[in-house]
Structure 1
Amino acid sequence: MWLFSSAINSFLIALPALFSIVNPIGIALIYHQVTAGNTRAERSALAWRVAAYSLGVMLVSLWVGATLIGFFGVSLAALRIAGGLVVAVKAWEMLSAPEQSEGRKQEQASNATGSSADAFFPLTMPLTTGPGTISVAIALSANRPKDTLDIIPYLSGMSVAAMAVALLIGFFYASADRVVLLLGQAGSRVVTRMSAFLLLCIGVQICLTGMQEALIPLIPARFMPSNV
Structure 2
Amino acid sequence: MLDFDIILNAFVTLAVTIDPPGLAPIFLALTSGMNRTQRYSVALRSVAIAFGVLVAFALAGIVVLDTMGITIHAFRVAGGLLLFYIAIEMVFEKRQERHEKSSQTAITKDQIANIAAFPLAIPLIAGPGAISATILLATDLGHEWQPTMLLLGVIVLVLLLVLLAFVAAEFLDKYLGATGRTILTRLLGVLLAALAVQFVADGALALFAG
TM-score relative to the length of structure 1: 0.63
Aligned residue runs from structure 1 range 194-209, under 5 A: 194-209=187-202
Q: Supply the distance in 2 between the matched residues of 1:157 and 1:207 (Cα, whole angstroms).
A: 28
Structure 1 residue 30: Cα displacement:
0.9
Structure 1 residue 49: Cα displacement:
4.7
Structure 1 residue 150: Cα displacement:
6.3
RMSD value, Cα? 3.8
More helix by share: 2
Q: Which is higher, the Rg of structure 1 or of structure 2?
A: 1
Q: Does 1:55 align with 2:47?
A: yes
Q: Does 1:15 align with 2:22?
A: no
1, 5, 8: which is aligned to 1:4? 8
Identity of aligned residues (%): 19
Residue number in structure 2 paired with 1:35: none
Residue number in structure 2 paired with 1:164: 161
Letter in 2 for 1:166: L
118, 133, 146: which is aligned to 1:131? 118
Q: 1:159 to 1:83 in 2, by over 3 A?
A: farther
Consecutive unaligned residues of structure 2, counting only runs of 5 or more, are 143-147
Letter in 2 for 1:89: Y
Q: Deviations over 1:33-80 (max 9, x none)?
A: xxxxxxxxxx56x65454323320222233437949724222222112
Q: 1:4 to 1:141 in 2, by over 3 A?
A: same
Q: Deviations over 1:182-213 (max 9, x none)?
A: 21111012222333333333323332332232
Structure 1 residue 81: Cα displacement:
1.6
Q: Does 1:149 align with 2:140?
A: yes
Q: Does 1:193 align with 2:193?
A: no
Residue number in structure 2 paired with 1:78: 74
Q: Supply the distance in 1 between the matched residues of 2:161 and 2:29 (Cα, whole angstroms).
A: 17
Consecutive unaligned residues of structure 1, counting only runs of 5 or more, are 33-42, 218-228
Residue number in structure 2 paired with 1:24: 27
TM-score relative to the length of structure 2: 0.67
